[in-house]
Amino acid sequence: MTDVLIDTDGKVGRIRLNRPKAIHALTTAMCEAVVDALEAWRDDLAIEAVLIDHAEGRGFCAGGDIRMIAESGAGDGAAARAFFRAEYRMNHRLFTYAKPIAAFMDGITMGGGVGISQPARFRVATENTKLAMPETGIGLFPDVGGGWYLSRLPGRIGQYLALTGARLDGAECLALGLATHYCRAEALDDAKARIAGDPQAIEEILAEASSPAPDARILTHRDAIDRLFASDRLEDIYAALREDGGEWATQTLATLDTKSPQTMKVSLKLLLDGRTMPTFEDEMRQEFAVASHVVQRHDFIEGVRAVIVDKDNAPRWQPETPEDVTGHLIDQIFAPLPADQEWNP
């Protein structure tokens, strides 16, 4: 069985993630296979659009192969860097692809799944969608273009999502622009079949397949998020949440207390830089440098141990508090790589 199924259907190229036991988490080979398929279809006049979904199981894509990345990070980091290099090439190829791409985010869409779906011109959410960038909980940061996408969300919602790892449902994805369409899951097969027959009508087909979305719950907290997450300094956000003292602020503070202070600060800088990044290629080059440094640091290896390996959910972060994470440490993590090691598309 192959972990990603690649074929053609009528006038469309089909990419189907097929690692159901791992909720289709990405491996280096899967990322390379996607890039190869996109290259093969780039100049093929018979292929007019690309559809990305998952073959079976309960999620679109739960992220990357975190256990492998952590094992590599604990050693020389070479396999982890090879994974990020391949994954970010795939992200960039999707972002710059000339033919329309539709991604179907039916189910869990986290980390690497966000990186596959967000570059697509059409992003379809359903009643099953659970989208999140939960990386700060394992000492990582919202990569795969997170610095680009999250920094472009309304107000300070991107900063809130990056720090807390909050999960969004399909209606919330639509309201925030992370999805372009909201469809019932039962309508997807028919929509895909119609697109395969007439890719030029993809926009009309998805519009016809769409259903009214429920209210987006996150918007009820929009004012609080913009006010309490207004600063790009983590210490200021903590102070604002403490000062507010309301139920939502207190719950949010408790959530932040479980995350890595180091990678929360990394995330804030990533979004600050990402908002003015000239191109997506520049974004991915910076994220690769940051990822190369972060995967070999204590917090990532400890976070994976606590959440994924031992499952005690009691990570011991170093440094322990936001105040202990110095500007010098963040500068080291964001230091550019030597020219012969840096990422390129």
Residues with active-site annotation: 64, 112, 135, 143
State the Cα–Cα distance between residues 136 and 264, nearest whole angstrom. 6
Q: What is the chain's percent helix, strand, coil content, to nearest 5?
A: 55, 15, 35
Three-class DSSP category at 49: strand
Q: Strands of 59-61's sheet, edge to edge? A: 59-61, 108-110, 130-132, 168-169
Residue type, 192: K
CB atoms under 10 Å from CB of 345, counted, come to 13
State the Cα–Cα distance between residues 151 and 133, nearest whole angstrom. 13
Asked if 112 and 140 count as a contact pair (C-beta separation under 8 A), the reply is: no
Asked if 128 and 192 count as a contact pair (C-beta separation under 8 A), the reply is: no
Q: Count how many Cα atoms sit within 13 Å of the Cα of residue 330 in the half-sphere of its side chain.
A: 20
Question: What are the C-alpha distances in Å from 126 to residues 134, 167, 211, 300?
Answer: 20, 14, 9, 32
In this structure, what are the phi and psi dihedrals at residue 8, rounded to the nearest 5 degrees?
Answer: -120, 150
